Structure 1
Amino acid sequence: MIQEIVVASGKGGTGKTFISSNLSYFFFKNGFNILSIDADVEAPDLLLALGGVKEKVFHEDFYGSVVDIDYNKCIRCGLCADVCRFNAISIENGLPKIDYNSCEGFGTCMLVCPVKAIFSRRVKRGDIFIAISNEGIPIVTGDLDVGERNSGLLVYRLRDIARKYALERGLNIMVIDAAPGIGCPVISSIVGVKLLVIIIEPSPQSLKGAE
């Protein structure tokens, strides 16, 4: 059984990665079979905190989805804009326009389109690596491409890859350095986890985020 430990904080700058890296180092030096995950995919630095890269042993391109519109079919009903929870579709001069920076590719717009004018396509969003640090600790880390979204989905994929790697090698402890805040990547980091360590500092913002 793999024990997952998530280190999180309601805001940045509380020392979350400092605690994650030291916790990982403590387990490793005391003979535990450990794997670390850097789930702060917008600004990953756990690998640096653990001594840098000695060897990369795995790489995978991470893909997300966006939607496009076939304007030859579109009847300008506006239903797609009404149902998009991310406000990625707006109506301009009677036509729906997609903001690709906001589109998460969930596809609700495709389901409600009465003429099937909306379709999905895959786009590369980032990269996933497994690296061995100079200290000898295996680390699974992801890195979103500049300006890309889908960080929550990337963290889900990181955890899937990490579990498979850990099971294949008999590793039974995973320390997850979550992203700061309370957004989608943090939720993806803590789902199903039994042990959550919340790092706070004596400030109203930090205490509110922890709550």
Structure 2
Amino acid sequence: MKELVIISGKGGTGKTSVTASFAVLAEKAVLADCDVDAADLHLVLKPDVRERHDFRSGHEAVIREADCTGCGVCLDLCRFDAVRTHETEAGARCVVDPVACEGCGVCVRFCPQTAIDFPERLCGEWMVSDTRCGPMVHARLGVAAENSGKLVATVRQEARRIAEEQGRNLVIVDGPPGIGCPVIASLSGAAQVLVVTEPTVSGEHDLARVLKLAAHFGIPASICVNKWDLNPEMTERIEKQARTVGANVAGRIRYDRSVTQAQIQERAVVEIDAPCAKDIRALWAGLGLSC
């Protein structure tokens, strides 16, 4: 089984649009949307959700108001200012702000009344869906929730399981942008990475960082410059620098307003009569990953 991870050094380069088109062209792949902080592959592929699973990670403190005496020990010890006081008919009582709570457990350990519970935190959910391009595993991380890297690992693991179960030999991963924990969780163990960038100063800078990350994990990397014709000189410079660090220049995609029309129609670019669809098909063929 092969796993192609599509990432970008920054957001807004067209990574998800490329992923959606690859999903159409692959015909028999399993899809994984690992951009769990801002998932949007579903906007194009319109998945029919058939499974939902809670994602729990870490813990959060919950004060039982009936048992709290308002002594203020937890208030004094919390270094994250997550504990607040409020007035009740029985007097002052403490409560925990779940957004501010870091789940360190200090308040639980030192509460003289043992009035604080410490349950697992519900951080989001992950789903298994059917799309017109095949099965897709995707997720949604809660607001201010933690462990996006662990959720990414869960999504990838489930996508691989489905691929093995259904005899599909390719997993296409829409990874998150940047070089943080979710990106590392998306990359590790992958067969190949495609980095989608744009011909701008920030695109050039962030591409260099993400290629360094891929090299650190020993993953073969290819790059694609999207909207290359907006700045041909910068495109040439980016491609030259990519070759210098051992990356493969897999292709270019022209600027095309039809991409917006495809998104409005909830379709991949290669599903409409778009000039840049030819570029994406050539890019896909060049990667040699047809199922």
Bin for the TM-score computed over the shorter chain: 0.7 to 0.9
Asked if 1:5 corresponds to 2:4, the answer is yes
Structure (1 or 2) with the larger CA radius of gyration: 2
**Alpha-carbon shift at residue 22 of structure 1 (Å):** 1.0
Structure 2 equivalent of residue 174 of structure 1: 171
CA contact (8 A) 2:49 2:130 kept: yes
1:38 to 33, 44, 47: 33
Deviation at 1:147, TM superposition (A): 3.2
- Shift of residue 91, structure 1, vs aligned partner: 10
**Displacement of 1:188:** 0.9
> Which of 120, 124, 127 is residue 125 of structure 2 equivalent to?
127
Correspondence for 2:16: 17
Report how far residue 197 of structure 1 moved. 0.5
Superposed displacement of residue 103, structure 1: 5.8
Which range moves more in the overlay, 137-146 or 62-71? 62-71
SS at structure 1 position matched to 2:144:
coil
In structure 2, C-alpha distance between the alignment counterparts of 1:125 and 1:116, rounded to whole Å: 23
CA distance in 2, matches of 1:162, 1:128: 11
| Larger relative contact order (Cα-Cα within 8 Å, sequence gap ≥ 6) | 1
1:64 aligns with 2:64: no
**Relative to 1, partners in 2 of residues 1:137 and 1:116: Cα closer, same or farther, differing over 3 Å?**
same
Q: CA deviation at 1:200?
A: 0.8
Could you tell me which amino acid in structure 2 is paired with residue 56 of structure 1? Answer: V
Is residue 165 of structure 1 aligned with residue 158 of structure 2? no
Of stretches 143-152 and 170-179 in structure 1, the one that deviates more from structure 2 is 143-152
CA distance in 2, matches of 1:75, 1:16: 45
- How far the C-alpha of 1:125 sits from its partner, in A, is 1.0
Residue in structure 2 matched with residue 156 of structure 1 by the alignment: 153
The answer on whether the counterparts of 1:66 and 1:100 sit within 8 Å (CA) in structure 2 is no
Instruction: Classify 1:19/1:129 alpha carbon distance in 2 versus 1 (closer, same or farther; 3 Å).
Output: same
Residues 42-88 of structure 1 deviation map (CA, whole Å, 9 limit, x = unaligned): 221112222x12x322211111113549999x79997x96xxxxxxx
Partner of 1:138: 135
* Structure 2: stretches of 5+ with no match in the other structure: 84-95, 111-115, 210-291
Q: Is residue 43 of structure 2 the alignment partner of residue 48 of structure 1?
A: yes
Paired residues of 2:82 and 2:101 also in contact (CA < 8 A): no
Change beyond 3 A, Cα 1:75–1:144? closer
Paired residues for 1:99-118 under 5 Å: 100-101=98-99, 116-117=109-110
Q: Within 2, Cα distance between the matches of 1:59 and 1:170?
A: 23
SS in 1 for 2:51: strand
Give the letter aligned to residue 36 of structure 2.
V
1:177-203 deviation per Cα after TM superposition (whole angstroms, max 9, x unaligned): 011222221111001112010111111
RMSD of the alignment, in Å?
Answer: 3.1
Partner SS for 1:199: strand
